Copies of this chain bind each other. A is one copy, B any other.
């Protein structure tokens, strides 16, 4: 057969499509809730964090809160503008990681990947801790058990995602709209009531705040600036989740990039409106808010501590705005809690996709790269959940302390991604002639340049204000993941060098000596003998390893009676050991003929249930594992399917059709409308 025979058929693609996919491509009105919930849900805690930091110096600094929120909004506009460039330039869903990897090389890529892993863990920890806080606002007895509630939520999400759930389902779309609708209505009603002078003050309006230790009296300018900067960097928690859309482009309907960019713009508009509205109304209603952990700093006008379970900002506003309509309050609090849970679900979906991309690039175990590897998928999800629970328990589900770890990772990827995009445009410009296109590119580069400048400044502010407060933990974790990934990559590189083909690799074995391992003369053995004969080896013999002379004689008699025309060799093994005599025999054959190859046929029967697996084939498995370490040997499993094996096949069929976390954002979607694309890329 010559080289010309090489066939390049594309096969089986069509057949797989129908069975393998469960998700659907997303219209903008579905994509918005699915991908925006992470970013939108930040509104549930970011304003609170601004107020908490400012209140360290008493309520006098609350005047800054509006300006700080505005600064956060400006940063968000810049970042969203930058990501709109990214979704056009990198529509494959690789997001920040791909941008950094392609433009800045593997070190930057691994740095972004480390930051993303840490972020995914923190999304889960922060969102569910915050959700537990909202639960405590609405349901009195939850208060004090936030860590337990958050942990239970992690476990529930883990179970749901291990079973598989369609992210594009209505369950995921409705709550986000409910949240926007509820919060929007609250802000509108609040604005009208404020203008008409009927807006009541918040429940905490009459309270005073005792300055925290070190912040008593008039602050120095430096201390003031530092405190405002701290409040600003905490407020930047509002930006978390913005990047989710850039990882989900393959899930959009065509034109994918344009639709993703539009959704991004919409997200920025809604998020900024909600955040500014919350901060404005909170000031208007004179909400007083301190770290929930330092509730004793809230005192009444006479300076006496008050007995008050402090509610979150949004809950306090809703309580005031809907003072005559309690269902409105409960609707807002519930919708906020639910969207926080959904936000952490995006991490469960994003994490496997990141894992599979890292596996493709050799930074993570290859098993993570195959959707078919259920075990790797499950391990990834459990890994994420365990780390999140560790954080929740270690920080007792205190959002304020978790936030300190959170944003540093987000801004690491923002910065590297912006830098990468600048390189991208510069490279593109070098080869582009058309002046119109060049102008567009230059504009894009300017946007990313401005974004980089902005996010770099914010990053420095975050590092300075948060490092000792907890950011060091996140950085340490990122460093660990970085080292792990580079270790994995080094290993794969070393192996691939050791495996590289050279010229001597085409030598053919001179002869094949086949042995069929026999334990009994039953159907599997006869099938293995038949298959072995069909292969026409140079030598063929059956080998029986036995302890007991009587059993051996019985086999020999049966062999004679059935007139099996393959010679039977009996190896004596004390203590019922099979593996070692077989390996030794194979090694001996090979030694006698170093240029030949030994083909070991192992008859196996396959069963369908896990408990049957325990009862069978353990020895065959060990033997195969051991023979693989023996040079010049190939191991041939000849299976015989027992009736019960059907059960395993059916189980597997069911499993293949199941939706897996991340299917949607990797573009593994079902086509159920004209114009949809099948493979996503």
- A-side interface residues toward B, CB under 8 Å? 1-3, 5-13, 15-17, 20, 356, 360, 365-367, 369-373, 375-376, 488, 491-492, 495-496, 498-502, 505-509, 511-512, 520-527, 530-531, 533-537, 541, 552, 556, 559-560, 562-581, 584-585, 597, 599, 604-607, 612, 614-616, 618-619, 622, 624, 626-631, 633-643, 645, 648-649, 652, 656, 666, 668, 678-680
Contact = CB atoms under 8 A, between A and B. Distances in A.
B626 A652 contact: yes
Contact of A526 (B369, B501, B585, B680): B501
A604 B628 contact: yes
B6 A618 contact: no
B498 A643 contact: yes
Contacts of A8: 552, 556, 568, 570
Given A366-B616, A531-B509, A618-B365, A571 B372 contact: no
Query: 9 tightest CB-CB pairs across the interface, nearest first?
Result: A367-B618, A628-B639, A505-B526, A499-B522, A13-B572, A5-B567, A509-B534, A10-B572, A635-B637
A372 B606 contact: no
Contacts of A628: 604, 606, 637, 639, 641
A42 B572 CA distance: 42
B615 A365 contact: yes
19 contacts: A1-B565, A3-B563, A9-B570, A10-B572, A13-B572, A17-B574, A488-B615, A495-B605, A496-B520, A501-B522, A508-B533, A509-B530, A509-B531, A512-B535, A534-B597, A575-B666, A604-B628, A629-B645, A634-B636
Contacts of A552: 8
A87 to B, nearest CB: 21
User: Which DSSP category, helix, strand, loop or mixed, fits chain A's interface?
Assistant: mixed
B580 A16 contact: yes
B636 A635 contact: yes
A456 to B, nearest CB: 35
Given A370-B578, A499-B520, A509-B530, 11 more contacts: A7-B567, A7-B570, A8-B556, A11-B569, A13-B572, A371-B576, A500-B522, A505-B526, A506-B526, A599-B636, A629-B645
A629 B639 contact: yes
Contact of A567 (B6, B527, B619): B6
Contacts of A360: 576
Contact of A537 (B375, B535, B642, B652): B535
B531 A578 contact: no
Contacts of A629: 606, 639, 641, 645, 648-649
A639 B645 contact: no
Nearest to A562: B501
Contacts of A369: 576
A570 B627 CA distance: 30
A372 B578 contact: yes
B634 A637 contact: yes
A352 to B, nearest CB: 12
B612 A3 contact: no
A615 B491 contact: yes
**Among A372, A577, A597: residue with most chain B CB under 10 A:** A372
A153 to B, nearest CB: 30
A559 B11 contact: no
Contacts of A370: 576-579, 619
A395 to B, nearest CB: 30
Contacts of A648: 629
A534 B508 contact: yes
B526 A565 contact: no
**Among A534, A541, A568, A606: residue with most chain B CB under 10 A:** A534
A122 to B, nearest CB: 26
A370 B581 CA distance: 13
A658 to B, nearest CB: 14
Contacts of A373: 618-619, 622
Contacts of A635: 636-637, 639
A524 to B, nearest CB: 6
Contacts of A20: 574-575, 577, 580
Nearest to A633: B639
A577 B371 contact: yes
Contacts of A563: 3
A5 to B, nearest CB: 4
A614 B364 CA distance: 10
Given A373-B618, A531-B597, A638 B634 contact: yes
B580 A372 contact: yes
A58 to B, nearest CB: 53
Contacts of A531: 509, 597, 634
Contacts of A505: 523, 526-527, 530
B637 A376 contact: no
A147 B194 CA distance: 69
A9 B542 CA distance: 12
Contacts of A643: 498
Given A360-B576, A507-B530, A560-B6, A640 B499 contact: yes
